[in-house]
Amino acid sequence: GLYEVRLLTVRRSHRRRCYALLLMYAALRWIESRGGRHVVAIGRREVVEMYRKALELDPASATAHHNLGASLSRRGEYAEAERHFRAALERKPSAPAYDGLGFVLWKQGRTDKAVAALQAANAADPKHPAGYEHLAPIHVGQGRIEEAAATRRELELAKASGGSSGGARAGSKAP
């Protein structure tokens, strides 16, 4: 099987510094100490192609669709990211996939649909904080300050409960 483990992300401004290299070395040694034999270190540019290849091997993979959507979203490719978040939700509804969908809809200016997707993320897993994190600024932008404050309180509760990324409740549909 194909497994992804993200151990380390270093800010672009710090990538060429000595401690960044030491952190990478420590991460690789940690993998090796736990029996890891094949380690591939790749950057964000290469990861998109890796997920596309994973989807060629397993087109039904909700995880690969979700991860490709997230990678495309980080690159600002919101329309394509939306398609992959929707594909992930068709295969396996989850709070992170609803949250990703809501974020890319928001970035495309489709605020009402973004709110619906983020509310679906919160309903799917009230302990998953990202839906609340993205919903609060939308409320602020709409001038709905009391709703934004309530969403921030829910975010603090989600963070205090330890957060999780469990699956959606039965019957949840992508907005």
pLDDT at 172: 42
133-170 pLDDT, tens digit per residue, is: 999 999 999 999 999 999 899 989 888 887 654 433 33
pTM over 0.75: no
Residues 105-125, mean pLDDT to the nearest whole number: 95
Q: Distance of alpha carbon 134 from its chain centroid, rounded?
A: 12
What is d(CA 154, CA 122) in angstroms, rounded to the nearest whole number?
A: 9
What is d(CA 84, CA 100) in angstroms, rounded to the nearest whole number?
A: 10
98 vs 166, residue with greater confidence? 98
What is d(CA 175, CA 171) in angstroms, rounded to the nearest whole number?
A: 12
4-51 pLDDT, tens digit per residue, is: 566 667 777 877 778 777 777 777 777 778 777 666 666 667 788 888
pLDDT at 5: 61
How many other C-beta atoms can be found within 10 angstroms of the C-beta atom of residue 168?
A: 21
User: Residue 110 corresponds to which tokens in the numbers above?
Assistant: 């489709």
Checking if the pLDDT of 58 tops 50, the result is yes
- The three-point CA angle 101-106-108 to 5° equals 100
